[in-house]
Structure 1
Amino acid sequence: MSHSKQFNYTLDQPLAPNFPSRMVASKQQTFTDPDLFRNQVSSIFDHDWVMVGRAGAMPNPGDYMTAFLGQRPIIVMRQPDGSIRTMANYCLHRYVKLLEGSGSTKSIVCPYHCWTYKLNGELVGVPEREGFRPEDIEGIALEPIATEEYLGYVFVSLRNDLQPVSERLQNLSLILKNFELDGYEDRHVVHEELWNANWKLIYHNFIESYHTTYTHTKSIGPANPTKLVEYGPIGDPNFTIHSNSYTHENQPDIYNPQLDDDERRRFYVTGVFPNGLVAVEPNFVWWMALEPKAVDKTNARWGISFSHHAMKTMPDAEKFVEEIVSVIEIATTEDKEMVERMQAGANFGSEKAGLLHAPLELYIKEFDDYVMRLSSS
């Protein structure tokens, strides 16, 4: 599993001998039980690295985005030295949420009583300071959150003892190394989009290509049909990957000279556990970071980033950006409709389990195995 040549399975070839011939889907209550939702969010999002978005969306000191680590509010902030720092998003005085949305600021000011913090979270301003003991407020700072930037994405964790993201995703980075994802230009980001569905249903949808031909009739389906799926390496505990390749007639012009013939025709579909979704093709990447809100509600932060090779050398880069954004907006809307209909169907509450396609939905089983592993640990 060392490089892209591991993509050596196609629909006309058998998978590994240990590949299951029959797989069942999770029961409906998996997506409707509020107690299970709370337990899984806590056991997973409090104990693993979580993807929150693209580092390039915050290019300058003071640029920030607010996000949720599970259901815990956080601030992700570009620092004066160029690094990215993540902090708990509440004031040390009376717990007021400090920042909303995304933007840029020179300092963090609580809207309630104007307690003021530096960009690194250090408390520097307290109105009516004489009302507090100096030893209680001097030298305190917003609670730091472990942060790592990798492949152009920002990952955060409550824990400081986890294997670094760069190590846990080293196999993925080897497969995608020629794309140089950390150099992609972040041109389109949607920070808040509420999907009326369980976060796991959304994840399931994005990591399989069985639905592509049938759901994405107005967007990517004709160019990347289900029949051209190529299976990737299986068994990595941290991610899944396969390719939903282009048809010959829809093969795009390629501007990255480092890509080989296989990489030029593939649309890699990757799930980075527990909440990151990344679809990579030669000229752009479509990504999503999921934030569970309730058992049937999820914020889907998503965006489109473009290859720096393409942006520098294609004839009309801005027109291309507009066209791709339009197509992916349609594709995302198509996904959203189907996932919300899955949630509505699951509300029936049947004890009968559905079936997974073997092998097109193998990736769902791999993700579910990850969820069970962390939920039971």
Structure 2
Amino acid sequence: MKPQANENIPTLRGARQREYTDALTFEQELAQVFDKDWVMVGRQNSIPEPGNYLTAALGQRPIVCIRQKDGSIRAFANYCLHRYARLLDGRGKARRIVCPYHAWTYEITGQLIGITDPKGFGNACKSEMGLEELACEVWLGFIFVSLRRDLPSIASKLAPLAQHLARYDLSSYDDRYVFDEEIWAGNWKLVYENFIECYHVTYSHKQSIGPTNPTRLAELGPRSHQQFSVHYNPYRPEDLPEVHNDALDEDERRRLLVIGIYPNALIAIDANFVWWMMLEPQAVDRTNGRWGLSFTPHAMTKMKDPAAFAEKIREVIHTATIEDKQVVAAVQQGVRFGAAEPGFLHGTLEIYVDEFRQYLDRMLGRNEPTLAGKAKARR
């Protein structure tokens, strides 16, 4: 990233501290952001066969995604129509879905097919009843779900990003590690903002990626996209990975791509693997980060010991996650002071934090633009 003259760098201000601690703001974000946009919930390769399912949350709404007999994936609200008990937990395979409370039974299509002691329910017609189905799409191997059925497709929203990632063939990656629970002691926005800025890498990741992908080498990616952000953390020349995908160009071989897809998806792409995480806000100061590591078949079939390589990467990412959790918790503790004045953002290295806040302003109907937006309007 080439230095710029100070007069060309906008003065950016971050969020006010109360936005990370205020319960009303948190509830508005669940209703206006997570209920009204596409939310990433998993990887399609983790449910490869009919009846395979994964459970997740849209914000705090429990949902389940199930592979169908025709190979498609459908998403449903994860509660029984009778007394609202959660139907499925974790991951698994089901021929049919049976409620653990009163044994109402559903096909994997969501259709209700069995009511125990049916005479007690009068004229209830099970043939007309089924689980609430949600919008569900697969994009480059990632599953996105939305409460709304009238949104433009996630594929159309992310078309420029898909073109940018075409040579990686992410849909073919093998999901070697999946962790459904990683609790962060921080507001979901703090976790998201930490991932999409490269200012902290050298200083916070001293035991993991800081030495190999230092902040000083960071490069900006595409700007001003309303659904995603991309920046690059290149490797030092002496730390360049061995690359087994001949389709990648020179830049793709030397870079770690860091991608945020609003509102909850975080993806880092190396020449040989992808590290992904999806955020589920559990409370104003508590977030679950489901994450995993998926590896390109180009690397897994050509390496001498792919299992050892995968385990090495898992250890590095595990360490990086611990480091990130520590700094996010420290920020959450700091914002409890409740200062009225917002902090500052680095005019280049944290520019995507500002763009993320512009996205939130749009979704929450906040009319006040960010300082970067004001500067752009003046120009």
- How does the TM-score come out when normalised to structure 2? 0.94
- 2 CA distance for matches of 1:284 and 1:33? 37
Q: CA deviation at 1:13?
A: 6.2
Residue 357 of structure 1 corresponds to which residue in structure 2? 346
Q: CA deviation at 1:12?
A: 4.3
Pick from 316, 321, 324 the counterpart of residue 305 of structure 2.
Answer: 316
User: 1: CA distance between counterparts of 2:293 and 2:126?
Assistant: 42
Question: Among 149, 163, 167, which residue is 2:152 paired with?
Answer: 163
* Residue 11 of structure 1: aligned partner: 2
Structure 1 pair 95/357, CA: closer, same or farther in 2 (3 Å)?
A: same
Q: Against the structure 1 CA distance between its residues 281 and 14, is the aligned structure 2 distance closer, same or farther, given a 3 Å change threshold?
A: farther
Partner secondary structure for residue 304 of structure 2: coil
Shift of 1:233: 1.2
Structure 2 residues without counterparts, runs of 5 or longer: 367-379
Cα deviations by residue, 1:39-83 (Å, 9 ceiling, x for unpaired): 111101111111111111111211111111111111111112111
Contact 1:148 1:155 in 2 (8 A): yes
Write the letter of the residue equivalent to 2:303. Answer: M
User: Aligned to 1:339, which of 328, 335, 359?
Assistant: 328
Supply the distance in 2 between the matched residues of 1:179 and 1:13 (Cα, whole angstroms): 32
Matched-pair identity in %: 48
Q: Shift of residue 227 of structure 1?
A: 0.6
Q: Distance in 1 between matches of 2:5 and 2:363?
A: 31
Q: Does 1:42 align with 2:31?
A: yes
State the secondary structure of the residue aligned to 2:326: helix
Counterpart secondary structure, 1:325? helix
Coordinate RMSD, CA, aligned: 1.4
Query: CA offsets per residue over residues 74-101 of structure 1, 9 Å max, x none?
Result: 1111112111110001100111111112
- The residue number in structure 1 matching 2:237 is 248
Hey, what's the Cα distance between the residues in 2 that align with 1:361 and 1:109?
48
User: CA distance change for structure 1 residues 146 and 14 in 2, over 3 Å: closer, same or farther?
Assistant: farther
1:1-377 correspondence to structure 2 within 5 Å: 10-12=1-3, 20-376=9-365
Q: State whether residues 105 and 113 of structure 2, in contact with CA within 8 Å, keep that contact through their aligned partners in structure 1.
A: yes
124-133 vs 193-202, which deviates more?
Answer: 124-133
Q: For 1:20-41, what per-residue CA distance to the aligned partner results, in whole angstroms no more than 9, with x for missing partners?
A: 5210110100100000110111
Q: Alignment length, in residue pairs?
A: 366
Q: Is the CA contact 2:68–2:74 (under 8 Å) kept in the aligned structure 1?
A: yes
Indicate conservation of the 8 Å contact 1:11/1:229, yes or no: no
- Shift of residue 352 of structure 1? 2.0
- State how far apart, in whole Å, the 1-side matches of 2:269 and 2:91 are: 25
- Of residues 307-316 and 266-275 in structure 1, the stretch that sits farther from structure 2 once superposed is 307-316
CA-to-aligned-CA distance 1:303-326 (integer Å, 9 cap, x gap): 111111111111111111111011
For 2:29 and 2:349, the matched residues in 1 are separated by 25
1: CA distance between counterparts of 2:21 and 2:121? 47
Code of the residue aligned with 2:232 in structure 1: it is S
d(CA) in 2 for partners of 1:82 and 1:111?
A: 27
- Supply the distance in 2 between the matched residues of 1:100 and 1:346 (Cα, whole angstroms): 34
**Residues 13/20 of structure 1: CA separation in 2 closer, same or farther (3 Å cut):** closer
Could you tell me which residue of structure 1 aligns to residue 372 of structure 2?
none
Query: Residue 263 of structure 2 aligns to a residue in which SS?
Result: coil
Q: Distance in 2 between matches of 1:41 and 1:363?
A: 21
